[in-house]
Amino acid sequence: MIETIYIEKEIEDNSKTIQILRKFKNARKISIDRYGEIFNRKNQNFRVQKINPSLILARKHKGFVLPTPVGFGIGDQKNFYFSHMYNCLYDCSYCFLQGMYSSANYLIFVNFDDFKKEIKQVMERNMGENISFFSGYDCDSVAMESVTNFINDFIPTFRGHENALIELRTKSVQTRIFEKLEPISNCVIAYSLMPEELAVKLDKKAPSVSSRISAMKKLSAMGWKIGLRFDPLIYSNNWKIKYQSLFKEIYSEIKEESIHSVSLGPLRFPKAYFNKIFGYHRGEEVFSQMDINSANVVSYDKALEYEMNTFCKNDLLKYCNENKVFHCYS
């Protein structure tokens, strides 16, 4: 339940602002000049704010579409990301947003048209090349759809542009929005997954893995392309058996031809982010194998990281072709 909404004065009359505010008639509304006053305020505690986040409606001024970090992609020549929103409904223990932001408030940039305009410009500049746009970098792409109407607004921008792929990264099991839309072959609904036993402990507030698999099954039957994202791969006792049975379960439910791509990524954080996250979750087992003393990037031991990637990839190759499997290292 959103109790407080901060609204930048300059977007008070924006149609998206009005649309969102209609959903929160009883919330306290506070006018602000710039979102940074609230979102970037010093001495905030992400964990405390996560208990009852406020909503911030703002305008983004520049940098609507950005190149992804090196190593992030699913096979296309060029990769971009855009973030209409910062922060997430869910509360995964390993979420890097806790390290990146000091605020857990939901920040929505309501000027969707500026994002779409820049996406179209990037498409035009890269005509003839295969490019990917990733939308779930700083949020979950689908989880807040009932508030943002993001998917409904953005899918038409990609319709008819076969060389420009959009990935919607999510753990949400909402499928109703996709039922209302005609599937497009250049949209991948990409599910973040890990063995259920781990997700129960780590993917707090997120739907169960079995319900994510059911959602994928439903969406693939409607004709939507599915992405499988085992990113991050999480170490635990008997991790090999757990991942093997997860892969088996997924491929027994979903036809291989519906799966656009599979990606694997190690658990790793920039040192500064890790220090904050580790401070919040000191007792969490998920961090027990990490080399907390490393200088720049905190990750598992390189040999373990390599073993996990290699083992999982080889097991996945029982079910899918190698050209669908990617490693993401960003």
Distances (CA, A) of 268 to 35, 213, 278, 329: 29, 25, 12, 9
CA dist., res. 323 & res. 308, Å (int): 19
C-beta of 95 vs 290, nearer to ligand SF4: 95
Nearest distance from C-beta of residue 144 to ligand SF4, angstroms: 10
Q: Are 194 and 247 in contact (CB under 8 A)?
A: no
When asked if residue 90 is in the footprint of ligand SF4 (CB under 6 A), the reply is: yes
Segment near ligand SF4 (CB under 6 A), from 56-64, 67-75, 89-97, 248-256? 89-97
C-beta of 17 vs 87, nearer to ligand SF4: 87
Query: From the list 55, 85, 95, 187, which residue makes contact with ligand SF4 (rule: CB under 6 A)?
Result: 95
Nearest distance from C-beta of residue 63 to ligand SF4, angstroms: 19
Q: Are 192 and 262 in contact (CB under 8 A)?
A: no
223 CB-near residues (< 8 Å, 6+ apart): 183
Query: From the list 65, 92, 123, 184, which residue makes contact with ligand SF4 (rule: CB under 6 A)?
Result: 92
Query: From the list 38, 88, 168, 262, which residue makes contact with ligand SF4 (rule: CB under 6 A)?
Result: 88
Instruction: Give SS3 for 7.
Output: strand
Each residue 32-71 as x (binds ligand SF4 by CB under 6 A) or -, in order, gives ----------------------------------------
Query: From the list 97, 168, 190, 228, which residue makes contact with ligand SF4 (rule: CB under 6 A)?
Result: 97
DSSP-assigned letters across all residues of 137-188 = SSS-TTTTHHHH-HHHHHHHHHTT-TTEEEEEEE-----HHHHTS---TTEE
When asked if residue 191 is in the footprint of ligand SF4 (CB under 6 A), the reply is: no
When asked if residue 150 is in the footprint of ligand SF4 (CB under 6 A), the reply is: no
Buried b / exposed e over 260-278, threshold 16 CB at 10 Å, is: bbbbbbbbbbeeebbebbb
Tokens of 240: 């090999």
Residues lying near ligand SF4 in the complex (CB under 6 A): 88, 90-92, 95, 97, 140, 171, 206
